[in-house]
Amino acid sequence: MPFDGKGMEVQLDTLDKIDRVIALLDRPEKWCKGVLKSSDGRFCILGAVLEARADRVLKGPLLRAAEQVTGRSYPRIEAFNDHRATTHAMVVQVLNRTRHNILAGEALAPAQAAKPRLLRRLVALF
């Protein structure tokens, strides 16, 4: 099968989207907890992802990066963003890890990475 460039196109689009999210949250005064977008224009992570129209491609990679950075699994992006221990510095670290994972080709199929963990849980039940 010849190289058709489709995988590279997806990766570049995903990088463009994470870069938009990073730009929306690059300073502490641009980030918030508890709401998608505050009345003064600040965003939580999910709000920034939605603003960048990136929820389909970034939700899984962001959750994976949050787990890599914190060592803790989160069921939703909002759970990480709104956790009492989450700081803006951690948010930036997760965003940068997400970008790194995308560049490394590790983050484009997050659902596949989650399947073995789910399978282990199911096997443990029986």
State pLDDT tens for residues 30-66: 999 999 999 999 999 999 999 999 999 999 999 999 9
Question: Alpha-carbon distance 24 to 106, whole Å?
Answer: 23
Domain ranges of the chain: 6-125
The per-residue pLDDT for range 5-32, each reduced to its tens digit, is: 445 566 888 999 999 999 999 999 999 9
Q: Is the dihedral of CA 15, 21, 22, 23 positive or negative?
A: positive
In this structure, how many other beta carbons lie within 10 angstroms of the beta carbon of residue 61? 25
